[in-house]
Structure 1
Amino acid sequence: MVKSSAKFLTLVCAAVLLLSGCSAEHRSADTAGITMQQAAERADSMLDATLGAIEPDVQWTHGATSTGSCDVSRRRIVMTVISQERVGNLLGLVQRSWEKAGYRMKSVIKDEELPAIYAQSSDGYAIALTVGAARQVFLEATTPCVKPSGVAAPTASPNGPAYKYPVPRPNVHSDFWS
């Protein structure tokens, strides 16, 4: 258990480094004038497109939204049980959908227990898929630095229960994924 926890912490630290780095000087021409709310909506659309590319569907719920001084992170948590045999299928499917969308792969971690994929869009949005304990899948999209503003909750409804923190371990059976 300690080894898995240490490995997970290492992967989380890597994710933070890959997804962070937002400051006023990192604003690009593509994001000039965009508010944090607009950027959050773009991040939501990236997550929605990723979940839409997964066939057959998986059940998901919202994770926490976090805001910095000029950036936003949106999260989705997969509630479908993913079997060890299907984790690679899921990661491959998502990676191909991101490549098709024009995202640049930043890192692919092929760890047997805690694999992950990190990518970036041409306009500076980061997106990640990480597999945690009990093979629970987490998706996160982080915006580049944009014009500060308020940020509303996501408008998309989960395709299952809308869990509040803490979100339980995966608990939905799928004839394909589980």
Structure 2
Amino acid sequence: MRLLGCVLLSMVLTACWGGKGREEPKMDMQQAGERAEEILDGTVAAIQPPVKWERDNPSQLACDNGLNRPIGATSVYRGRTILTVVSARRRGELLEMVRRYWKQQGFGDFEIDSDSHMPQIRATSADGLVAILDVGDIGNVFLTAGFSCAKDSEMTYPRDTPGVSGSSVETDGLPRKYSAHWSETAPH
């Protein structure tokens, strides 16, 4: 399910580059990664009471001209996995808290899926950053932020980023931490 979400996000992020009227990227991959990290760090800090979280594997996908020919730009996204168990009763509160923070940060074009089992919120900032919070089928919560196409460049990552060269951090994305507020009840 998580892989399907990543594939769909990549398709959404690259979709704006096909066809006429495409714009040149406003930033390079390093700047895009830093901007995504900034909004993700701010988002998890805005969740109160605090939740435990970890970085998710970053991803990038080459943008093309619609004929599978690279154009010198790449979609870039970063993610966070919430490790705190968020009960079904608290999911709406979490989504609203994140929506308010993103709105304060200048995001608009909100799309909210209020599905009771797997809700999602998606928003876009003025500079083109797409941010998504989605709840997986077992209640796992993911935050993703990225740009559809950024100019190709070298990229660096925060030290504790899984899935990048030189990192020993591994993640499975399963919520295992309990909170009196978010989880409602801890396991016996």
- Pairing 1:33-48 to 2, within 5 Å after superposition: 34-48=27-41
Aligned partner letter, 1:21: A
Decide which structure has greater strand share: 2
Give the structure 2 partner of residue 123 of structure 1: 127
Give the structure 2 partner of residue 93 of structure 1: 97
Aligned partner letter, 2:97: L
8 Å Cα contact 1:105/1:117 also seen in 2: no
Give the structure 2 partner of residue 20 of structure 1: 14
CA RMSD of aligned residues (A): 2.7
Q: Describe the shift of the 1:12–1:108 C-alpha distance in structure 2 as closer, same or farther (beyond 3 A).
A: farther
Q: Describe the shift of the 1:141–1:163 C-alpha distance in structure 2 as closer, same or farther (beyond 3 A).
A: same
Q: Partners in 2 of 1:131 and 1:88 — Cα distance?
A: 11
User: Per-residue CA shift, 1:120-164, capped at 9, x if unaligned?
Assistant: 000111000000022111000011322101222235789xxx851
Aligned partner letter, 1:37: Q
Aligned length: 164
Give the structure 1 partner of residue 66 of structure 2: none
Give the structure 2 partner of residue 177 of structure 1: 182
Q: Describe the shift of the 1:144–1:10 C-alpha distance in structure 2 as closer, same or farther (beyond 3 A).
A: closer
Decide which structure has greater helix share: 1
Give the structure 1 partner of residue 82 of structure 2: 78
Pick from 45, 57, 60: which aligns with 1:67? 60
Tell me the CA shift for residue 16 of structure 1: 4.8
Q: What SS class does the counterpart of residue 54 from structure 2 fall into?
A: strand
Tell me the CA shift for residue 168 of structure 1: 4.4
Q: Describe the shift of the 1:157–1:71 C-alpha distance in structure 2 as closer, same or farther (beyond 3 A).
A: closer
Tell me the CA shift for residue 20 of structure 1: 3.4
User: Per-residue CA shift, 1:34-63, capped at 9, x if unaligned?
Assistant: 220111001100111111110011111111
Identity %: 34
Q: Partners in 2 of 1:105 and 1:154 — Cα distance?
A: 29
Segments of structure 1 that go 5 or more residues without pairing to the other structure are none
8 Å Cα contact 2:108/2:124 also seen in 1: yes
Q: What SS class does the counterpart of residue 144 from structure 1 fall into?
A: strand
- Deviating more after overlay: 13-22 vs 86-95: 13-22
Q: What SS class does the counterpart of residue 143 from structure 2 fall into?
A: strand
Q: Partners in 1 of 2:3 and 2:60 — Cα distance?
A: 21
